Amino acid sequence: MEFTDALRALVAVYRSRADELLPVYFLSPAVAQVARAVAYAGVGVVYAYLAATGRLARVRADLRAAEVAPPGPDADPEALRRWFEAAAPAFERLVVPEVVAVLGATTVLAVAVFAVLYAVATAAQLRCCLATLRSERGTTAAVAGARRHWRPLLGLAILQLVVVVLLTGLAAAPVAAVVTISPVAGIAAGLFVGLPWLVAVAVVRLVFVFAAAAVIVDGTGIRDGLGSGTRFVRTNPLWAAGYLVAAVGVFVLVGSASAVGGAGGGAAGALLGIVVTSPVLDLLKVALYADRGGGIDPPAPPSATLSDQLRAGVRRGVDALTTFVRRHPGLHAAATLAFLGGGLAGWTLAGPYEGLVAASIEARLADHSPLSAAVTFAANNTAVAVGSAASGLAFGVPSVVALLFNGTLFGVLARLEVAPAVLAAFVAPHGLVEIPALLVAGALGLSLGGTGWRALTGDAGRTDVAAALERAFWVLVGVALMLAVAGAVEGLFSPYYFRPFLG
């Protein structure tokens, strides 16, 4: 197989098996959402402890008695500095051993959960790539791959991190030693050491990239996978270099596309990373390695044009969204109650802080750039919706946490807002679309939670999980369309239409 054949194979998979490939890559933001849920739980425990021991009440009393008044949302940096200096002794009451211990344990647990689930998601994604490249059902293979291959992939990820840290330490040590003698000489040493370090890290990265592919294609463990990855890079240097060039090219293209959104490019780039960067590079590395280990048999590209496929995908996403809403009113009621409950909790929790902390929608809109904001809102909310829904596979708990958190945040901001009428006027136009879309995503997470529970108890097999993922993908296409509309309204219309009436 030529390198260009691998490129054609990944394009064919993308065009003919997107609804099997992309749902598995929605697991990436889901992993982050599960880890955040762990962090939120730790913060909640800390808040409850501080409230129960009276420390929060004493901090509020100290802040109200401070000689420096709390700054407003649009205060200048000097006013903020004076207030923080006056308030620092009050906040020191919160730094107690119990709080440090809980937050430390929460951080360790969240990192561990993220690492394990990252390996599970990676195993599912790479196995899905191999299956679709061989014209097999990707989502079914992904479920099997997640169970079988996550341990060696976790080991490879940890080992890669250790090697890169060691290489960085070896490169940084002599530079640091020279800097202590002469800063100018230190800069020269950094330039001298930097290129070999970069080459070494690139080679290490390539070895581990194809070691992961070997684990999936050959079904090996850490040691054999690492050996196979090393041999592949050594015996196929042009293909390995081609993969590296392709990776740089994809990152440049995605970065360029993201830059069109200006300041909103970061959110757009993160979303493109989920649906473009990661699947493209995974398909390419698996295709290149699998050609040496059993070959590939990619599906034929569809006869329809790309524009026809996009139109058909939009229609199918809208149909899946409306069907899901119509068939699951109970799930949507539960999601709505969770969101409203979070809003009520946020409103209540923020009550004691009125007069101490202020929020201002006008201040947040001071540097508003309409196009950039529209891109940011649409991309960020879509990523949140995808993570909230897909994380529901963990028995629905992270989806509920996401709904509670978003509701709580909204309740806090509403209670502390200095201009409630302006906030209500700003939120109303896009909120009519955005909030229902996020509630649908939450309800979808609860639905996937039921699937995850049935899979745990043995009442659902891998084909059931695969079917649920594929259905969820099309519902999320509909949700993404709603959030694109909401983002455009929020960026281009919501900040302006009310000003002739409210100022």
- Above 90 in pLDDT, residue 366? no
pLDDT at residue 399, rounded to an integer? 96
N-to-C CA span, the chain: 66
**Number of neighbouring beta carbons within 10 Å of residue 140:** 22
Phi then psi for residue 118, to 5 deg, are -60, -45
Query: Is 4 strand, coil or helix?
Result: helix
Residue 352's alpha-carbon distances to 59, 347, 355, in angstroms, are: 11, 10, 8
Digit-coded pLDDT (tens) for 49-76: 999 999 888 888 877 776 656 666 566 6
Q: Helices marked H in 53-137 — which ranges?
A: 55-65, 77-91, 97-133
Task: Please state the pTM of the whole predicted model.
Answer: 0.91
| Number of residues that this document lists for the chain | 503
Whether the Cβ atoms of residue 454 and residue 393 lie closer than 8 Å to each other:
no
Whether the Cβ atoms of residue 390 and residue 445 lie closer than 8 Å to each other:
yes
Digit-coded pLDDT (tens) for 219-233: 999 999 999 999 999
Residue 75, Ramachandran bin (φ over 0: left; ψ between -120 and 50: alpha; else beta): beta
- Above 60 in pLDDT, residue 131? yes
Mean pLDDT value of segment 17-41: 94
**Number of neighbouring beta carbons within 10 Å of residue 458:** 7
Comparing 120-124, 289-293, 474-478, which segment has the lowest mean pLDDT? Answer: 289-293
Closest by CA position to 437, among listed 378, 363, 495, 354: 378
Mean pLDDT value of segment 436-453: 96
Whether the Cβ atoms of residue 261 and residue 268 lie closer than 8 Å to each other:
yes
Task: Return d(Cα 366, Cα 476) in angstroms, integer.
Answer: 32
**Number of neighbouring beta carbons within 10 Å of residue 383:** 23
Task: Return d(Cα 485, Cα 494) in angstroms, integer.
Answer: 12
Digit-coded pLDDT (tens) for 209-222: 999 999 999 999 99
Task: Return d(Cα 28, Cα 117) in angstroms, integer.
Answer: 9
Residue 419's alpha-carbon distances to 72, 308, 359, 425, in angstroms, are: 12, 47, 9, 10
Q: How confident is the model at residue 254 (pLDDT cuts 50, 70, 90)?
A: confident
Average pLDDT along the chain: 89
Mean pLDDT value of segment 271-298: 88
Whether the Cβ atoms of residue 462 and residue 479 lie closer than 8 Å to each other:
no
Task: Return d(Cα 97, Cα 489) in angstroms, integer.
Answer: 47
- Above 60 in pLDDT, residue 256? yes
Fill in the amino acid letter for 163. V
- Above 90 in pLDDT, residue 93? no
Task: Return d(Cα 57, Cα 96) in angstroms, integer.
Answer: 15
**Number of neighbouring beta carbons within 10 Å of residue 195:** 9
Whether the Cβ atoms of residue 342 and residue 411 lie closer than 8 Å to each other:
yes
Q: How confident is the model at residue 265 (pLDDT cuts 50, 70, 90)?
A: low
The full set of domain ranges for the chain reads 3-39+99-290, 304-502
Percent of the chain with pLDDT over 90: 65
pLDDT at residue 361, rounded to an integer? 87
Whether the Cβ atoms of residue 379 and residue 262 lie closer than 8 Å to each other:
no
DSSP 418: S
Task: Return d(Cα 376, Cα 373) in angstroms, integer.
Answer: 5
Q: How confident is the model at residue 258 (pLDDT cuts 50, 70, 90)?
A: low
CA atoms within 13 A on the CB side of 89: 9
Phi then psi for residue 454, to 5 deg, are -65, -35
Task: Return d(Cα 217, Cα 148) in angstroms, integer.
Answer: 12
Fill in the amino acid letter for 132. T
Block residue for tokens 């996550």: 150
Phi then psi for residue 359, to 5 deg, are -120, 150
- Above 70 in pLDDT, residue 83? no
